[in-house]
Structures are given as structure tokens and as C-alpha cells.
Chains A and B, each alone.
Chain A
Amino acid sequence: MSGFLPSDEHRAIEEAVQRICAKYDDAYWAETDETGRFPEAFVADMAEGGWLGTAMPEEFGGAGLGLVEAAIVMRTVTQSGAGFSGASAIHLNIFGAKPIEKFGTDAQKHAWLPGVISGSDKMCFAVTEPDAGLETSAITTRATRTQDGWSITGRKIWTTSAQRADKIMMLARTTPREEVARPTDGLSLFFCDFDRSAIDAKPIPKMGRKAVECNMLFIEDLKVPADALIGEEGKGFKYILSGLNPERVLFAVEAVGLGRAALMKAAQYAKDRVVFGRPIGMNQGVQHPLARAWCELEAAELLAMKAAALFDAGLDCGAEANAAKYLGAEFGFKACEAAVLAHGGMGYAKEYHVERLFRESMIARIAPVSREMILNFVAERVLGLPKSY
């Protein structure tokens, strides 16, 4: 199974990404976290190396590789110490435009994909809403037909990178909920310019990853042309669904890499820090949490890569992708926690960087889907238990 044993190509990918990441050290990421400055230089280097197009077709400037390779890229990024500040800065370019590739017309693909792949277009993704959350079918942002296109009005929340985006992919209701057979019908997916005269983006002050902001969007009569609609009207929910599993896999490996970055720092600290005349890492009380974290991260990565390999083979990977995201996030968090604790007081100090990674580790536990919804999914779809919500 590809994804289980790394090929020469996989090693070459990892090494090449490592070399870019090596230019951006802990001080760089600590600074972006302190100031909230977007890691432009890092993203420019990743774009120039062609990494944003890892999983996109060669025809549009991508490399035509799969989710396995994209996962290696993203895991390498977080593992370098860049954490989610690095990964989230490019995450959307890697898989965000997939609905266009899968469901867009030829004209749409040619118009939109090259810019996203080269990094010259910065896209953001607006699905969830303050009053909808994980109940996507409850979104109220409304797209209504005009003479030559659509007018969109509504609110979105947690839209990443909206401050600097020049394109937006958005889910909006085109047929009222009460007029469709299933609540998930009547939603449509749009891709258009981020028109700041019609969209007001307000950053949400948050716990970590200050460099890559999340926003509330207030959309007022956003006029978009008819050809901004991706695929067919009313099928947007289905299009979004097709991208969920790869996104889960990427979150899983990003969390694993993040946990490893913290773990490596903790192991080094435990070797160097001498108390009572010997390194603290000589104590099993310090060793075991770190060793356990290593085991757990390896296991989570294996499941994520299995899901990626299944996805690339065109097989169903829903259970694996969800479970991998669950494990990656939980074990990534536990590894970061163990790393902070191994540092003792210094773990709480910004100077040692693990507190930054620890704060970021909460991201994958919450986004893009909660732990509870994953367990609901596994209970219902894998174990055949009655639906609970």
C-alpha cells in the first residue's frame, strides 16, 4: 500500500520541504505569533518550490500527486516547528480548490486553478456560520438570482485568511430550506473575487496561531457573475462533502507533525536540563510521557497515511480519515502537553516555544470537525449504532 512505506520520491519530497522549512526557525514563528504578521516569506518559498500544487493536476501548474504526498508535505511543515502557523498559511491552497477541479467547468478550471496553485491568488473558504456550526444545512447565507448572476447576503464565521484573500469559495443557500426535499439540498457553491465593498471581514482574537487570522464575515449584497457557480445549482453540499475526507487527513498529519515538533524539543530539554546532578530525562517519570507520545503519534500517522492511500486509490476512506483526525488531534495535543510539562516552568515561558505549539494543538481538536461528531460518525456508520443527534 502506498503511504505505508515511503518511496524514494516521498523521501525527496520530505527532504525538499524540510530544506525550505529550515530557513524559518523558531524565532521566525515566535515572531509571527507575537505580532500576528502573516508568514509571507515562507509562503512565497513554498509557492516558488511548486508545493502549493502538490495534489493539483499538472495541466494547471500542479504536480498531479495525491493525498499521500500532500500529507507528507503538510506533516513536514508542522514538524519543522512551523506548526499550524505554517500549515494553515498554505493548507487551503493545497486542497481547498479541489471542488473546482472536480466539479467546475473547463473554463472555470483554467480561469481559477493556476492562480491558486502558483500562490498568486489567495483564497479563503466560507462555509460555517454563527448559527449553524456543524449543522451545515442550517446555514442562512442566501444567494438570489439577479439578471446576470447572483446576489449573496449573509454571515460567515471562522473564515481563515480573509484579511488577505483575493478569492473566496462560499457555500450559500439558493433554495430555501422549506422548499427542498432534504435540508442538504438547495445549497450551492460559489467561487468569486473577494469584494471588500460587499464583504466586511473582522478578525476574531483567538488562542493561538495569531499569524493566520480567522474572521467573521458580514456579506451584504455581494454581486457575483453567473459563472461563479461551481457545478450545478443546489449540489453544493455534496461538493463540499467530497473534500472533507482529504481535509481530515491533512489535519491529522498536521497535528502529528505539531506534536512531534514539541516532542523533539522536550526530548532535547530533558537531555540538557540537569537537576539533582543528572539530566531530568534520566527519570522514568519524564521519559515515559514522552515515549508514550512518540508511540501515539506514530500510530496516528499510520492511520492517516492509510486513509490517504485509500483516498488516492479511489476507495472509501471516511472512517479512516475521521479516526485519523481524531487520533492525530488528540495525540498531537497530548504530545504538546507532555512537552510543556517536561519543560517544567520553562514550558510556560515563550522562550522555549512549546507553549506556542501547545496552544496551536487545540486547533485540530476542534476544527474542522469536533471529536464528538467523529465518534458519532464511527458509532453510527462503522458500528451500526442508532443515530444520536
Chain B
Amino acid sequence: MKLLVPVKRVIDYNVKVRVKPDQTGVDLANVKMSMNPFCEIAVEEAVRLREKGAASEIVVVSIGPAQAQETIRTALAMGADRGILIQTDQDVEPLGVAKLLKAVVEAEAPGAVVMGKQAIDGDNNATGQMLAALLGWPQATFASAITITGDSAEVTREVDGGLQTLKVALPAVITADLRLNEPRFASLPNIMKAKKKPIDMKTPADFGVDVAPRLTVLKVTEPPKREGGAKVADAAELVGKLKEAGVI
């Protein structure tokens, strides 16, 4: 079975992001970029599924600027077989990404799409769900365990208040949560091998998908600075303070 794993290039999770002075977005200049951590978990899971014999080929796809090839190479160094870059300098919204992925799914005919539950830049948590809807496939989101048997997958989901296990018919879209696995480090021999693995270069136009934004960002601001608290001696003082603040 072929697995398709979409990966996104985002600001490295260790970087403290800064909002642009004109409040139009986050400053990306000279900022370290890496693979979205949830995408990395998805790649790792795909590689593990192949190691278990449940998958035969892993194709990674990224939508983004030319530099996203580096992100694809990272996935190839982890063990994926080949890559596809749909190159665009535009910030593609979840629906646009889902439409492009649908087109890739139609071209590649994978047995499942394994992807991160969300990207840490937009935190939309939307693409996987939209892709499943567009394809008319079942979806199993927030996976913390995946077992593939024959033409179905058993997926444990992290939901409020516990774990839910469900069975979905394949092909399906499965999105990875944080505790699904701990991604491996790329070894040097695998980094070397990744250099020789092919990356197909495409554009959104190749798939006939219009990725023009449907949303307008009004402004992006930093979260308000947290103010220091105050200690109170007893309950009476607390009530007094709360009254002063007008909350009771």
C-alpha cells in the first residue's frame, strides 16, 4: 500500500515568533524554518508502518516555496521514498491545500493519507478534515495509535476525557496527534541517500487548482503581556480586592 504524507515548512518550534510592525503577519525574515512537528510525527508513523510491512511506498508532498524542498529532504532522510513539491510563494489556505492534496491523491492513488493534525503556524486544524470531505473518504483525526489490517485501519483517537478507538475503511485520511510516536533522528547515511531520491516539481496550475485566498487577515497582534499577580493575606482581603476590581 502506498501512503501519502503531506508535510509543511513552518517556523521552527523553538523560535519565538515576532509580529511584523505593520501587524500584517508574522516576521519570517531570517527565521529558522523546520518541518511542522505534527508532520514529522506523520512521516515517522508512515515509515514505521512500512517497516511493519503495512505500507510499501511513502510519498511526501509539500506545498510552499522552493525552500520547502529541504523539508521534503528531511522526510526523505527519515525514510520516505520520493517527494512532490507544489511550488508557490503564496500562503495557501487550508481549503486550497485540501484541494491540491485531493488532486495529488487522484494522481497517486494512495491507500491512505497520514498527516499532521495541524500546522503550528496557523493552528487551523482543518486541512485533514477538509481533504477527507473533498475525497469522500473516512477520517480518523488526532491519532495516538494506528494499526492497519487488510483494508481497514484501527485508530485510537485522543478525545476529551479519554481515548476513542475506531475502525475506518481504507482509503482514509488519518491525522497524527502528539503522542502517536517520537520521530527518529535522521542518520548521516540516510541524509546521503535522501539526496538521491527524486522530488517532482509541480505548481498549483499543474493541478488546475485555484489557490487564491478566500480569507482576509485584518491584523495580527502579539498576545497581551501577562501582568504579575499579587499575594493576599486572607480571604477577606481577596474579597476586598475582587470588589475593587469590580468582578464581584
Contacts and interface: CB of A to CB of B under 8 A. Distances in A.
A259 to B, nearest CB: 21
A165 interface: no
Interface string A1-44: 00000001101110110011000000000000000000000000
Q: Interface residues of A toward B: which range?
A: 10 to 19
Interface residues of B, number: 16
Contacts of A8: 69-70, 73
B189 interface: yes
A50 B184 CA distance: 14
A251 interface: no
A161 interface: no
Nearest to A61: B189
A54 B187 CA distance: 11
Given A8-B70, A12-B70, A20 B185 contact: yes
Nearest to B191: A12
A82 to B, nearest CB: 15
A114 B208 CA distance: 52
B62 interface: no
A63 B195 contact: no
B139 interface: no
Contact of A9 (B189, B190, B195): B195
Contacts of B191: 9, 12-13, 16
A19 B70 CA distance: 16
B163 interface: no
Contacts of B152: none
B34 interface: yes
A15 B188 contact: no
Interface in B60-96: 69-70, 73-74, 77
22 contacts: A8-B70, A8-B73, A9-B191, A12-B74, A12-B194, A13-B188, A13-B191, A15-B34, A15-B74, A16-B77, A16-B187, A45-B185, A49-B185, A49-B188, A50-B187, A50-B190, A51-B188, A54-B188, A63-B189, A63-B192, A64-B192, A65-B192
Interface of B: 34, 69-70, 73-74, 77, 185-192, 194-195
